[in-house]
Amino acid sequence: MKAAFILNPAAGRGKALQMEATLQNEAQRLFPGAPIVRSARPGHARNLAAQLGGTHDTVIAVGGDGTIHEVVNGLMENKAALGIVPVGTGNDLVKALNIPRDTQAALQLIRNTPPRPIDVGRVNDGYFINGLGIGFDAWVVKRSLSVKKLRGNLVYLYAVLATLGSYSHCTLEIDMDGNQSGQDLFLMTIGNGPSLGGGFKLTPGARLDDGWFDICTIRKMHIPRVLRNLLRVYRGTHIHDPRVEISRCREITVRSTIPFAAHADGEALGYDLTELKMSVLPGALHVYCNY
């Protein structure tokens, strides 16, 4: 195996930088000669992955969901496999793939387990591996970036509660595999994996290797009803609410004359969007995991 590492020093609120020396020791023991390259700015990990994936058969992302998102986008330009050393806040993809949180165990997994094919979502001219959110959760992502004193899932829980007072709904025209509808929605999730936002199981039945998107649409609802469903989303039992609909598709287009917000894998796509085209790419990326 010819491996290379991409480390986001800001991941995990700086935890990745603190563990760099430990990572270097373990990496050189298990992957002699493997370079460890730091990403320096938003979007840099994507460029590094595109470059390193052309000269290495494995590129290992050291960071959280955002770092993994960038590396995945870079690796779609070549045939390198993805390894992950988790250092992040939400780690939704890591949980879905059953990757150890311990650095040494994650590296041993990459060293000793062959990678397996995982589906990837395409959105316009980019990609996502775990999920895409439209509406409320996109604004939650924006709010979470300003939270400095909390850690882990508390970041997202605080951002949810802080966003509720200022958000209403989004009006969308939706085409799922040729089936068209227009809806006023609280949010819409295109799930490749089962959870987003630090454990919100919006698409609890989604699988990363089945060639389908799971779609969760939640119709416009008032704050008291949102609060009643909040804990249910952590358990994935919100799907029993009559305002929640779960469906499946391979291609989906979303349009609106009223600009909407969206994120992919927790990374903002924009806050004044008018159209997104998404499709699932079955088995498009090989990933080291226990899935």
Name the catalytic one among 20, 26, 70, 267. Answer: 267
Are residues 243 and 219 in contact, defined by beta-carbon separation less than 8 angstroms?
A: yes
Are residues 219 and 168 in contact, defined by beta-carbon separation less than 8 angstroms?
A: no
In sequence order, the 6+-apart residues with CB closer than 8 A to the CB of 16 are 7, 8, 9, 10, 62, 63, 87
| Per-residue b or e along 55-76, where b marks 16 or more CB atoms closer than 10 Å to that residue's CB | ebebbbbbbbbbbbbbbbbbbb
Residue appearing with tokens 């649409």: 217
Other CB atoms within 10 A of residue 51 CB: 17
- Whether 267 is catalytic is yes
Catalytic residues, by residue number, are 267
